[in-house]
Amino acid sequence: MLIQTLNIDDVLIEESRFSLKGFVFGSNSLEACLEDSFRNTGVLYPVIVFMDDKGRLHLIDGKKRINFAKQNNLKNIDALIFTEAAPVTDIITVILSGKRMEIEQSVMNKTGFICFAKSLNAPEAWITESLCIPFGFKPHSEFLKDCEHINNLPGELKLFCHEKRFSMKQLLNLAYYPEDILLQLMAWKPALQLTASILDELASNLRDYLSSQDKAIRDFLDEPEVQEIFRSSLSSRDKTDRLRQLIHIKRFPILSETNAKLEGKVAKLDLPERLSINWDRSLENKNVAISVHVNDAGQLAESLKALNSDEMKKAVEDILNEL
């Protein structure tokens, strides 16, 4: 490698073929620490660049150093220069060494870095051996395809998944939903309380509902019940619950109607608080669970009396007939 003093303006930064933009999310706290270090000691180490066959300089490592130099009106900076003769795996290893802390912050970043390596045409065998295994992933080609699906998620959703530290399974659950639905979920983010499981539930039920009704997402947004939820003064938690319930009812209208009817029958029994009736809400299992919670013998006698009533027997019979 050559060491030269370069004009900062000659170095491609965001346009560099080795930019991690779109693949790995940075850390604001780490950037602040580095800026403090540069301010106290100056730029001690050269940046690393790659010179392509047309003489263009692509930044490999040192973006924060270059930005600091620009802020301090420096025109030149020392640089180590890789040439076309350098193996791409060496360059990826240099980037990994400098960004390891950021890359290993989340599964999203690690899968993104694997896709970054693929975008540079690094050999698949090298990626599985040098990246997948150290990152704790399965070293096979099917896993690399999973990484690509995850990397194709909308940018805002990828950032959300990074910030919330979603697991590989949670990321894959989201990776196969239509983009328009995922974009809409992110548009709702300021108004809702979203977790990995809630995102998965909303995306799944909304996809199936729209498909069954041959509707687009904009048609759903125009529905009065949806507009009512988002125009309301409900808390984000309550809006989330209302939206989940609404989409579930639309996705499973018969199921929701049947459960509502059964809930009405149970409510009419006016059971003691310590007595409850439960059933499989999917209506797939013909089974009713009756629970009794007591803390003295008198309560038990009262509960047994309610259990033995004709109304209770009729309600249980009706529930079983629906299952």
Cα torsion angle, 106, 116, 121, 65, sign: negative
Amino acid 96: pLDDT: 97
How many C-beta atoms lie closer than 10 Å to residue 237's C-beta? Answer: 10
Amino acid 316: pLDDT: 79
Burial class (CB in 10 A: 0-12, 13-18, 19+), 211: exposed
H or E stretch at 76: strand 76-82
Q: Does domain 1-105 have CATH number 3.90.1530.10?
A: yes
Q: Which candidate, 207, 153, 220, places its Cα nearest to that of 183? A: 153
Instruction: Round to whole Å and give the CA distance between 185 and 189.
Output: 6
Amino acid 299: pLDDT: 76
- β-pair type (275-279, 288-292): antiparallel
Tokens standing for residue 136: 């704790």
Instruction: Round to whole Å and give the CA distance between 289 and 278.
Output: 5
Tens-level pLDDT at each residue, the chain (323 residues): 678 999 999 999 999 999 999 999 987 655 555 555 545 545 457 899 999 999 999 999 999 889 888 888 889 999 999 999 999 999 999 999 999 999 999 999 999 999 999 999 999 999 999 999 999 998 999 999 999 999 999 999 999 999 999 999 999 999 999 999 999 999 999 999 999 999 999 999 999 999 999 999 999 999 999 999 999 999 999 999 999 999 998 888 777 677 777 778 777 777 777 777 887 776 667 788 888 887 777 777 777 877 778 877 887 787 778 76
Instruction: Round to whole Å and give the CA distance between 244 and 234.
Output: 14
Amino acid 33: pLDDT: 52
SS (H, E, C) 151-213: HCCCHHHHHHHHHCCCCHHHHHHHHCCCHHHHHHHHHCHHHCCCCHHHHHHHHHHHHHHHHHH
Amino acid 30: pLDDT: 52
Amino acid 81: pLDDT: 95
Amino acid 252: pLDDT: 83
| Rg, the chain, Cα only | 29
Question: How does DSSP classify residue 17?
Answer: T
Instruction: Round to whole Å and give the CA distance between 197 and 313.
Output: 37
Amino acid 31: pLDDT: 56
Amino acid 277: pLDDT: 80
How many C-beta atoms lie closer than 10 Å to residue 60's C-beta? Answer: 24
Cα torsion angle, 263, 269, 274, 277, sign: negative
Classify residue 292 as left (phi > 0), alpha (psi -120 to 50) or beta: beta
Residue indicated by tokens 């209208």: 253
Write phi, then psi, for 19 (nearest 5 degrees).
-70, 135
Amino acid 44: pLDDT: 53
Check: CB of residue 47 under 8 Å from CB of residue 7: no
Amino acid 42: pLDDT: 52
Q: Which candidate, 83, 44, 87, places its Cα nearest to that of 62? A: 44
- β-pair type (57-61, 11-12): parallel
